[in-house]
Chains A and B, each alone.
Chain A
Amino acid sequence: MHQLQDAAAVVGVGATDYYRRGRSVPATAMDLAVSAVRAALEDAGLGPRDVDGFALYAGGLNTGFLAQQLGVPDVRFNATLPGGGGGSAGCLGLAAGAIVSGQASVVVSVMALQQATYRLGQAGGKGSPYAFTPSPETDFSVPFGWVSPGHKYALAARRHMHLYGTTREHFAEVAISTRANAVRRPGALMQQPLTLDDYFDGRMIADPLCLYDFCLESDGAVALVTTSTERARDLARPPVLIHAAAFGGDGVNSPQLPWANSPDEYFASGYSEAVARTLYERSEIGPGDIDVAQLYDHFGPMVLMQLEDYGFCGRGESGDFVADGNIRWPDGGLPVNTHGGHLSEAYVMGMTHLREAVEQLRGTATNQVDGAHTALVSGGPASIPMSAVILRKDEP
């Protein structure tokens, strides 16, 4: 048994409201983060003085400033995964590692986005993370107008269509089923149902990806509080156990540029097979035993590829898998993104997926999967690190 298995648990979840991009003004990203963390601590029945660790991702935020505003007197663990949303689920693995190794006892993970002065999805411009400084790597992409994450995933989606016969109707099924979940969920940004006609009427952005294949751009924050399973059993909420976690990826094929030169089966995938293999090695729970999955949906078609990576269907079979209704709530065999995902609830870089998995396992989700005992949450597809966790109910 892997030493982190079931050793730590999520005991608190908190979130701000979700806003369209820039609409959270005058709140700053730090304001949103503090609000979410306070809400998560309250949910857990803990206070800032109980916190002694931060486990973050996507480069984190200024934890010194965060600790100060929260009033955390003694920070004993402060680590962040690099990369972007690929590390989102992995922050729980980082937290569990800190707790099991005795480096911290109560660990906060948080993501806050406030895009009033920049857009994550926009290349160039003030404050853009995609503003370009010429480099040996980007020389082989930027001069060709390869400047948005959407371009990468359009190239992957096109290849998947070519190899496996995947169609835009399959992409639409991800968008439509996810929207249906959002419509039922108060606070989700998208509240109108999406039809197949709507989908095909959506403007093309990076063919074959249209408007509805791209995630939302939003503001908001979500925080989680993690502690040891032993301590969790004395707290306010039923513990949600971190059964297995993994972050990393295929070291040869993952860095951005070689994606163009990776083997076909990697190129047209969610890049997560290596993470999935590690995850299941550390788990007693296999893909057939997962009750609900929250799969990172910066781009809807990448949900298909992840269904394959995580073993919910065979390579190339995800189109048929979703066409058969498998990811639909409530009757599908594997409801996916029951909160409405990045496509239709809000984009907070993966944290909303973790929040939803915890709510599912507490039995308090809006679109509750009956008797959900296990949930898989992914971060990525992206460059290294990508990540995933399997969470489960505490059933000693």
Chain B
Amino acid sequence: MTFAPELAELGPDRWTLPFWEAAREGRLVAPVCPRCDRGRMPPTSHCPHCGASDAPDWEPTSGQARVFSYTVAHQAFHPALGEHVPYVLAIVALVDRPDVRLATNLLEVDTEAVQIDDLVEVVFDRVDDDTVIPRFRPANGGSTQPGG
């Protein structure tokens, strides 16, 4: 199920590393400013909203999200994508923290049937022992409709 493993080499820094460490443990976490409680995505040293210089907190999430936008990519702009087109590149908003959105892929979907606001759930794509990439698939046994 691994999607384009050649593109999955990561280069985190101290601010983003907790996200990837949690993914390795099968947890999807959201970066939140400890001072103003707003999502801080990307996780950085300073909050652009309140100016806090505290590291973000990492809140556990249910792993569910809703599709915010998506594209069905038909052209492989990188050689590593050649055998994966068409694929769905999406931005999803976490149900528990709608102010944190992630770019991701939607797996196990009918590419013609995806809709904005579809409910999806995280799946952890284990590329190798060190690298786990959170992707998403339809939640609730395949229903892709909001509220389902």
- A-side residues, CB < 8 A to B, are 121-125, 130, 132-148, 150-151, 154-156, 158-159, 162, 203-209, 252, 257-258, 260-261, 267
Contacts and interface: CB of A to CB of B under 8 A. Distances in A.
Given A136-B11, A260-B103, A267-B69, A143 B77 contact: no
Contacts of A136: 11-13, 15-16, 42
B103 A146 contact: yes
Question: What size tier do the contact residues of chain B reach?
Answer: 35 or more
Most chain B CB atoms below 10 A, which of A142, A144, A154 = A144
B116 interface: yes
Contacts of B69: 155-156, 158-159, 162, 267
A123 to B, nearest CB: 4
Given A124-B78, A133-B11, A155-B71, A146 B89 contact: yes
A145 B89 contact: yes
A147 B78 contact: yes
Contacts of A209: 71
B79 to A, nearest CB: 6
B73 A151 contact: yes
A53 to B, nearest CB: 35
The main secondary structure of chain A at its interface with chain B is: mixed
A145 B7 contact: yes
A140 B13 CA distance: 12
19 contacts: A122-B77, A124-B80, A130-B77, A136-B13, A139-B11, A139-B16, A140-B103, A143-B7, A145-B7, A145-B78, A145-B105, A155-B91, A156-B69, A162-B116, A206-B72, A206-B74, A206-B75, A208-B71, A261-B101
B20 A139 contact: yes
B15 A204 contact: no
B68 A159 contact: yes
B91 to A, nearest CB: 5
Contacts of B4: 143, 145
Nearest to B92: A260
Contacts of B15: 136
Given A135-B11, A143-B4, A143-B8, A206 B73 contact: yes
A124 B7 CA distance: 10
Contacts of B8: 143
Contacts of A147: 7, 77-78, 81
Given A140-B42, A143-B8, A125 B79 contact: yes
Given A124-B80, A139-B12, A143-B7, A154 B100 contact: no
A261 B39 contact: yes
Contacts of B72: 204, 206-207
A208 B89 CA distance: 12
Contacts of B116: 158-159, 162
B133 A138 contact: no
Contacts of B99: 261
